[in-house]
Amino acid sequence: MNVFRLTGDLSHLAAIIILLLKIWKTRSCAGISGKSQILFALVFTTRYLDLLTSFISLYNTSMKVIYIGCAYATVYLIYAKFKATYDGNHDTFRVEFLVVPVGGLAFLVNHDFSPLEILWTFSIYLESVSILPQLFMISKTGEAETITTHYLFFLGLYRALYLINWIWRFYFEGFFDMIAIVAGVVQTILYCDFFYLYVTKVLKGKKLSLPA
């Protein structure tokens, strides 16, 4: 494992922990898109079904279990424990417009036409657009809490680091996965505008606001 993948994994984990702590400490999920969190839970579930069929390393297995557990814990906090604070009126993105096309694409473009491989491909495609409901929600409300923007920053950083990881693996290991790279590029592009606002506003102590 190279340093870019490791730091990418740690950035991903940091994003998840930041979100969970935010919800738990404030006893509120205001400003958090439950739909994005459901999509992420679906991503981890379909990607890590190989937990039942193969073992790579203790680190690999542990991270997969943590991601899945945290994803469903987040969904539980939003839709059950702190349901009264969930702003469903602004979380209105039509997720079927993401899931259905992504599902079709996974059947058409994959490495191997087998159930586990199709589900893995589906998870890669879906992850690249799962943040859209959250970004859409921020655009509707016009602003985001600082802690929420930190969550988004680390999530975007994770994807950017993983792109560097793919480049590293290509040059030093000869490994190349076009599906993962293209999906990663798409996902990173979605974060670009947010990164700019994060650096120019949030890091200077200003509250992030986006056009409605």
For 112-179, what is the HEC assignment? CCCHHHHHHHHHHHHHHHCCHHHHHHHHHHCEECHHHHHHHHHHHHHHHHHHHHHHHHHHHHCCCCHH
Residues forming a β-bridge with 68: none
**pLDDT for res 208:** 52
Which tokens sit at 32? 């958090």
Query: Biggest alpha carbon distance in the chain?
Result: 51
pLDDT over 70 at 69, yes or no: yes
**pLDDT for res 197:** 60
Residue 144 pLDDT level (bands cut at 50, 70, 90) = low
What average pLDDT score do residues 107-120 get? 94
Residue 191 pLDDT level (bands cut at 50, 70, 90) = confident
Work out the percent of the chain whose per-residue pLDDT is above 70. 88
Cα–Cα distance for residue pair 174/185, rounded to 1 Å:
19
Q: Which of 128, 147, 170 is nearest to 39 (CA)?
A: 128
When comparing pLDDT for 160 and 15, which is higher?
15
Cα–Cα distance for residue pair 154/203, rounded to 1 Å:
13
pLDDT over 80 at 209, yes or no: no
The pTM of the full predicted model, rounded to 2 decimals, is: 0.89
